[in-house]
Structure 1
Amino acid sequence: MSLEIINTVDKLTLSDQIEQEKISLNLLRQTNCKLEESIDILEDQLASIEDEDNEWKTRYLIQKEMNDYYKRAFFFCDQQIPKAKALQRTINRAVRRGSKLSSYMDLDEDSVQELEDYRTYIIKLCRELESRIDQEGKKSNI
């Protein structure tokens, strides 16, 4: 009987050890699942950081392109505004003297209309650029 008792005790001990191993195995599996979830979350965060970096790079490149465009527009305006102002002074002088612009400058009506249209275009362009500068200044101060 003593051998049977020892065998029974050994079996119980082994079954307890097996049960403890199963519990440990389940804990390890749960921990492994949680670690995999954490790794997935961290990989997603890393991808979003890389995307954010690309977004800022894209924003920088777009802003640089816009700045270059505005520099070219300002250069164009700097060249055209004095011409438009001189033309406007000529028109104003002719009007003040009471003479017609066409006889003053020896131009036909189509040329006068073309000059007036060009003058209007330059004035609108100046106003538009001034408003854009104001808007960009407000955006950059925000």
Structure 2
Amino acid sequence: MTGGSNSLDVERLKADIHQEEQIKQSLEQSCHELTNTAVELEKRLKLIDEESNEWKTRFENQEEINRHLHRQIALLEKRIENAREELKTAKTRATKIDTNEISKESLSEIEGEKRSLLSQLRDYEWRLEQENKAYHKANEERKTLTNEITDIR
């Protein structure tokens, strides 16, 4: 029975070797699939990083635009205030002048100055209104982009 026993041992060893080869092949396939998955995940991560940088750049640009609009609004408000002061000064000067001493030329000059100041005031108010609209539109866009960035994360 030693010959039969050896034969059984050899068959069992062959079966074990065959089973080990199948396990090895299965493990190699799993390793290959995991490697492919890791490569895909790295590609996705790179794309997400690139998108994040794009959104970050957009956000920073929008913040810079907002700061610029704030400065313009402040400047226009100051100009409006100056125009109002000039108008008050012109009105005060006009009321202090003795109407008997005013020539028609002086009167038309003062009226022209008044029209000019009123026109300048309306122009500044219109520009301020336009800047204000642009600011609010930019601010809404900033909020939308911020929400999109938050949703992506």
Q: Which amino acid aligns with 1:120?
A: S
CA distance in 2, matches of 1:21, 1:57: 53
Gaps of 5+ in 1: none
Judging changes above 3 Å, is the alpha-carbon distance between structure 1 residues 58 and 130 closer, same or farther for their aligned structure 2 residues?
Answer: closer
Aligned to 1:52: 55
Q: What are the Cα deviations for residues 9-66 of structure 1, in whole angstroms up to 9, with x where unaligned?
A: 3333212211110011111211222222222222322332233222221111111111
Judging changes above 3 Å, is the alpha-carbon distance between structure 1 residues 125 and 76 closer, same or farther for their aligned structure 2 residues?
Answer: closer
Aligned to 2:41: 38
Structure 1 residue matching 2:128: 3-state secondary structure: helix
Gaps of 5+ in 2: 144-153
CA distance in 2, matches of 1:140, 1:47: 24
Aligned to 2:151: none
Aligned to 1:122: 121
Aligned to 1:105: 106
Question: What is the number of equivalent residue pairs in this alignment?
Answer: 134
Please identify runs of 4+ aligned residues in structure 1 that moved more than 6 A: 88-91
Structure 2 residue matching 1:20: 3-state secondary structure: helix
CA distance in 2, matches of 1:72, 1:134: 16
Q: TM-score, normalised by structure 2?
A: 0.62
CA distance in 2, matches of 1:135, 1:60: 13
Higher relative contact order (CA 8 A, sep 6+): 2
